[in-house]
């Protein structure tokens, strides 16, 4: 799906529209988060600083108040009256003052009412006056069980601790919260100052008990703190110095000390180490909070003042902002998607049409057109593609059709120097024209050569037939010559036998022998002529053998030089004629020999009586006849050899004839192919 231009373009447009919105939303979220965090921290810091100032102001006022009481006439007067009472009652340092007597009640009412009114007006839980020498609690506004007590008998309580430090140092002292048994074992905190006489000796100690309610009222201010915001104080023992707003059941001051519940967090630790700042961390309730912390000094004691709010509540506005950003982003995304769909469709729809057009064009359908009526770049591209299709249809397709029809005379005019299609068609026409012209020339030459080969094959075939007939005639003649020669040999043998027989009657045919001798001499002459003829026949046979060899060589070259075989064939024919003539002459001579022999036989018969006279001649004739017999035998062998050579020549001539026939068939096929090629070439119309 994402290979489609439409979806890719849509994806790009959506990404361009949505990604910046998302980035802006994320940046806005972080900026808002940081801004809100800074705002929350600024609020917490402001609240923390206000709390810090109020607590410090409360402590400063307590300092001033305790000093004011230490220097007041009422406290000193009370001390002197109590001293008189102790002396009169003879109360030792270890004894408890009986504060229930009428006299002491009167003393408390006359001199202690002012102190009580002051303490109540300032909001202190209690105000006490303790003698410096014996540690008797001679005054307390609450009149608890510690009233009249000698602290020397109760040294394990916070009141004794602060009294002792003041007496020892003669300076103002602070007592951090500790559980005090004489106030229901609840945690209390004191501030005390020495009461000095004129000699600057400590005669008494004025003690003010800090009010938890005042501290809680200060820390309970929660303007702008939401539902989870709170301010609280933690001492160095990690126990609460003010009540927790979120969990008072466990982390109120009273419950924290009674249950030993410690408040632990990074902010508390930092503040107790005299550090001031803000942090996002876990609170003492194990929840994520934004905290502003600072140390606060209560005398020599360091407390932690904490202002914090739940991170979830603090960032609830961020959640609202996030919801708004997400909503805006989603709406923007929908708008962007709709716009992207519209834009991508408006772009890809004509592109798809052009793609379809190009696909049709790729299939060779040059008659198709994009049919887009647009004035933008896509419309211009469509017009260019339309021109391209028209150009291809008019130039390329028409040109190829003309080439397919054999018309190479078409005129093609390039649009410009860069028109590679027109130039390619021009070069194609020129190349095809040159090729067709070359094919025409080669075809005509091939036709001529085929005709020549066909004619030569016809002549060679005819000559081979004539040579075959001549060789057959020569063979027949030689067979006849052989027969004649054989007969001559037989007759010569018979003549030799007759000569032997004639020798018996030589005496009687002596006279006739003379005639026979003459006849025999004629026979000898004729026989000699026969020998000459046979020699000629032998020469002819040798020449025929050479011609047969030449005929075999020429037959092997029959493809291109068949005409040479005609010359050999002519020579063979000539020799055959000579052989025929010689055979005829031989036949005539043999006939003469026969006639002469017959005459000689008749003469011999008629000359039987005188054979004795021609004995010597008969013997000579017998010798001659032996020679003739041998010559006849040799002649017969030569004729046989010539006959065999003629048979070989006939075989070679037949092979030559067969090759000539095959060459004739090839020449005919080549001529047919050349004619077909001429017909194909004739279909092309060439420029003249």
pLDDT at residue 624, as a whole number:
67
Pick the range with the lowest mean pLDDT from 90-104, 262-276, 499-513: 499-513
Question: For the segment 73-108, what is each residue's pLDDT rounded down to a tens digit?
Answer: 999 999 999 999 999 988 988 899 998 899 999 989
pLDDT at residue 372, as a whole number:
67
Q: Cα(528)–Cα(652) distance, rounded to whole angstroms?
A: 35
Q: Cα(598)–Cα(641) distance, rounded to whole angstroms?
A: 32
Q: Cα(228)–Cα(308) distance, rounded to whole angstroms?
A: 8
Residue 566 confidence class, pLDDT cut points 50, 70, 90:
low
Question: For the segment 124-159, what is each residue's pLDDT rounded down to a tens digit?
Answer: 999 999 999 999 999 999 999 999 999 988 788 999
Q: Cα(187)–Cα(143) distance, rounded to whole angstroms?
A: 17
pTM beyond 0.75: no
Question: For the segment 26-75, what is each residue's pLDDT rounded down to a tens digit?
Answer: 887 778 777 777 888 888 899 999 999 999 999 999 999 999 999 999 99
Put residue 170 in one of left, alpha, beta given phi > 0 → left and psi -120 to 50 → alpha: left
**Residue 471 contacts by C-beta under 8 Å, 6 or more apart in sequence?**
572, 576, 646, 649, 650, 653
With 90 as the cut, is the pLDDT of residue 653 above it? no
pLDDT at residue 187, as a whole number:
95
3-class DSSP state for residue 239?
coil
Q: Which of 155, 682, 674 is nearest to 445 (CA)?
A: 674
With 80 as the cut, is the pLDDT of residue 379 above it? no
Q: Give the residues across from 57 on adjacent strands.
A: none
Q: Which two tokens stand for residue 654?
A: 């037949």
Question: For the segment 170-219, what is each residue's pLDDT rounded down to a tens digit?
Answer: 999 999 999 999 999 999 999 999 999 999 999 999 999 999 999 999 99
pLDDT at residue 686, as a whole number:
63
Question: Considering Cα of 249, then 255, then 256, then 260, what sign does the dihedral take?
Answer: negative
Q: Cα(649)–Cα(543) distance, rounded to whole angstroms?
A: 12
Based on the number of CB atoms within 10 Å of its own CB, is 685 exposed (0-12), middle (13-18) or buried (19 or more)? middle
pLDDT at residue 610, as a whole number:
60
pLDDT at residue 630, as a whole number:
75
């Amino acid at each position: 799906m994402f290979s489609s231009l439409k979806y890719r373009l849509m994806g790009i447009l959506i990404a361009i529209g949505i990604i910046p919105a998302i980035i802006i939303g994320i940046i806005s979220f972080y900026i808002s988060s940081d801004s809100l965090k800074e705002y929350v921290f600024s609020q917490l810091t402001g609240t923390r600083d206000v709390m810090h100032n109020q607590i410090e102001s409360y402590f400063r006022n307590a300092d001033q108040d305790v000093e004011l009481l230490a220097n007041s006439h009422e406290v000193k007067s009370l001390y002197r009256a109590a001293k008189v009472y102790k002396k009169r009652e003879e109360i030792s340092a270890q004894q408890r003052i009986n504060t229930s007597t009428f006299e002491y009640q009167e003393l408390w009412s006359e001199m202690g009412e002012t102190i009580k009114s002051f303490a109540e007006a300032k909001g202190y839980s209690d105000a006490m006056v303790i003698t410096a020498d014996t540690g008797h609690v001679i005054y307390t506004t609450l009149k608890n069980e510690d009233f009249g007590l000698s602290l020397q008998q109760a040294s394990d309580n916070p009141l004794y601790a602060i009294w002792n430090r003041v007496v020892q140092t003669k300076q103002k002292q602070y007592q951090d919260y500790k559980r005090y048994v004489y106030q229901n074992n609840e945690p209390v905190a004191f501030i005390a100052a020495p009461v000095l006489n004129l000699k600057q000796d400590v005669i008494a100690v004025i003690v003010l008990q800090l009010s938890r309610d005042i501290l809680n009222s200060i820390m309970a201010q929660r303007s702008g703190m939401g539902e989870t915001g709170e301010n609280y104080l933690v001492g160095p023992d990690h126990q609460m110095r003010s009540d927790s707003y979120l969990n008072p059941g466990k982390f109120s001051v009273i419950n924290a000390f009674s249950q030993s519940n410690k408040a632990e967090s990074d902010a508390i630790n930092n503040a107790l180490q005299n550090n001031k700042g803000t942090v996002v961390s876990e609170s003492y309730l194990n929840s994520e909070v934004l905290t502003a912390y600072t140390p606060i000094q209560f005398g020599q004691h360091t407390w932690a003042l904490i202002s914090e709010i739940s991170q979830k509540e603090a960032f609830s506005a961020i959640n609202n902002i996030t919801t708004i950003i997400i909503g805006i982003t989603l709406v923007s995304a929908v708008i962007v998607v709709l716009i992207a769909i519209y834009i991508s469709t408006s772009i890809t729809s004509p592109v798809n049409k052009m793609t379809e057009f190009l696909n049709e064009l790729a299939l060779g359908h040059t008659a198709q057109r994009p049919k887009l009526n647009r004035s933008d770049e896509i419309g211009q591209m469509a017009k260019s593609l339309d021109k391209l299709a028209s150009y291809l249809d008019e130039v390329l397709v028409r040109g190829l059709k003309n080439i397919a029809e054999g018309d190479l005379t078409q005129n093609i005019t390039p649009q410009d120097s860069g028109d590679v299609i027109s130039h390619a068609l021009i070069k194609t026409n020129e190349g095809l024209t040159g090729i067709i012209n070359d094919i025409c020339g080669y075809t005509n030459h091939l036709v001529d050569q085929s005709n020549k080969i066909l004619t030569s094959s016809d002549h060679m075939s005819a000559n081979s037939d004539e040579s075959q007939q001549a060789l057959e005639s020569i063979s027949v003649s030689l067979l006849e010559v052989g027969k004649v020669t054989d007969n001559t040999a037989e007759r010569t043998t018979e003549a030799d036998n007759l000569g032997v027989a004639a020798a018996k009657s030589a005496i009687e045919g002596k006279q006739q022998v003379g005639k026979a001798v003459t006849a025999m001499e004629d026979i000898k002459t004729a026989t000699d002529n026969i020998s000459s003829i046979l020699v000629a026949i032998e020469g002819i046979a040798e020449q025929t053998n050479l011609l047969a060899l030449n005929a075999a060589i020429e037959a092997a070259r029959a493809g291109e030089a068949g005409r040479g075989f005609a010359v050999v064939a002519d020579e063979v024919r000539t020799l055959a004629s000579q052989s025929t003539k010689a055979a005829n002459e031989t036949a005539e001579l043999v006939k003469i020999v026969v006639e002469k022999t017959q005459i000689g036989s008749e003469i011999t018969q008629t000359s039987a009586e005188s054979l004795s006279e021609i004995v010597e001649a008969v013997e000579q004739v017998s010798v001659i006849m032996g020679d003739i017999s041998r010559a006849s035998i040799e002649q017969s062998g030569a004729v046989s050899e010539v006959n065999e050579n003629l048979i070989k020549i006939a075989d070679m001539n037949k092979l030559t004839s067969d090759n000539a026939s095959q060459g004739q068939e090839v020449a005919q096929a080549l001529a047919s192919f050349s004619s077909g090629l001429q017909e194909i070439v004739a279909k092309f119309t060439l420029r003249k």
